[in-house]
Amino acid sequence: MSDAPASARWRPLLALAALFLAVFFGWRGLTAPDPAPPLAPPVESYSTRAPTSVAGPDAPVEHYQGRAWDLYFTRPEHPAARSKRGGPDAYLAQALRTAQDSIAMAIYDLDLWSIRNALLDAYGRGVEVRLVVDEDHITPEVESLRAAGIPVVTDNGAGLMHHKFVVIDAAEVWTGSMNFTVSGAYRNANHLIRIPSRRLAADYLREFDEMFVDGRFGPASRADTPYPQVTVNRVPMEAWFSPDEHPQARLVPLLRSAQEDILLLAYTWTADPLTDALLERAQHGVSVRGWFETEQLDAAGHDYERLRAAGLAVAPDPFPGLLHHKVVVVDGQTVVLGSYNFTRAADVRNDENLLVVHDPDLAAAFYTWWQDHAVGP
């Protein structure tokens, strides 16, 4: 047995261990992925960011892709829209046909055969298909789904079941302003957005199950969104549902935070707190501009004339069909979208969904769409 102290006997082993650790952590430092880059810088000129549609010029749809979303605009002015084929519904129908496990759809109105047939196809393949529909819009297409065995739940009349969303395989969400109707996809100005995110899907599934399973609609709904804030491929998003979460409480400070520009693309606008916020920012030099649906300008409580009288550059929309968007873009950085009209009813009575997406690329897509169609302000 050696007479050397125990510490001396361990020194070679300790040296080898130290060398191994140095090499190992040095190698990890060389091969570790770079930290996620920051979000894109503020948009200095909207036109410099103008995104390009990846749909063909002859298609009745404009399709833009971002790092966290696919965005589809209807093209009611395009001659191809007369075919009633190939619009945003074609993309959604394809996604429904590839569903593997489940489809949960909450839709105010449905008469598109493309969507009906895709749901029947999925159900026939063993996919769990569930629907929530507004009680006043039980169309023949909805009845055919019910007759095939697909469960359909209607609201209780407390307010409108005004949602327009689909969750596929608990993994992706489709939402926006577009009802799944011929008018919604081919006659009116609308958008549809797809966002792949399991957490966002969990938010929308909770809202769906609250209606489908719990039978809670309108004021009976609960503020229980599991992930109110999510980040999808470095794009921060906020999920809001009404009437339980009163999205207006978020929209007022968002509008008041504007420093440069607010773009409005809105079917209607009767919420006085939102109007007050717009007027306050305009007084501080913020540009407020955009369109409202022409047929809604005479609706009770519409604030169009109040905004015009204050010098804001808002105008009736230029489309023969409806401008059905429910969109606000703030400073070219943040986009508000969903089924939520900017009204008191949407905030306190109807079942609605609203997304706040902090992404200059998405903002640029909406701004570009507005510029491409601008014949007004």
Average pLDDT over residues 114-132: 98
- Annotation marks residue 121 as catalytic: no
Question: Which listed residue (169, 209, 276, 331) is catalytic?
Answer: 331
Encode pLDDT of 32-61 as tens digits. 332 333 333 333 333 335 577 888 888 999
Q: For residue 324, indicate whether it is catalytic.
A: yes
Strands 70-74 and 191-196: antiparallel
- In angstroms, the CA 352 to CA 164 distance is 8
pLDDT score of 42: 34
Which residues partner with 231 through β-bridges?
236
Delineate the domains of the chain, giving CATH numbers in brackets. 54-373 (3.30.870.10)
Rounded to whole angstroms, the Cα distance separating 367 from 364 reads 5
Q: What is the pLDDT of residue 269?
A: 98
Span 314-322, average pLDDT: 96
Bond prior to 243 in cis (omega within 30° of 0) = yes
- Tell me if residue 331 is catalytic: yes
| Range in 26-30, 149-153, 166-170 the model is least confident about | 26-30
For residue 342, give the 3-state DSSP assignment: strand
Task: Please provide residue 68's backbone torsions phi and psi, each rounded to the nearest 5 degrees.
Answer: -130, 10
Question: How crowded is residue 220: how many other Cβ atoms within 10 Å of its Cβ?
Answer: 15
**Could you tell me what percent of the chain has a pLDDT over 70?**
86
What pLDDT band is residue 5 in, cutting at 50, 70 and 90?
A: very low
Percent over 90 (pLDDT), the chain: 83
Which member of 324, 325, 347, 361 is catalytic? 324
Cα 17 from Cα 11, distance rounded (Å): 10
pTM summary value:
0.86
Per-residue burial over 227-236, b if 16 or more Cβ lie within 10 Å, else e, is: beebebeebe
Segment 53-79 shows an average pLDDT of 93
Could you say which of 326, 347, 359, 361 is catalytic? 326
- For the segment 307-319, the average pLDDT, to the nearest whole number, is 97
Identify the band that residue 180 occupies on the pLDDT scale cut at 50, 70 and 90: very high
Mean model confidence pLDDT for the chain = 89
In this predicted structure, what is the pLDDT of residue 38? Answer: 33
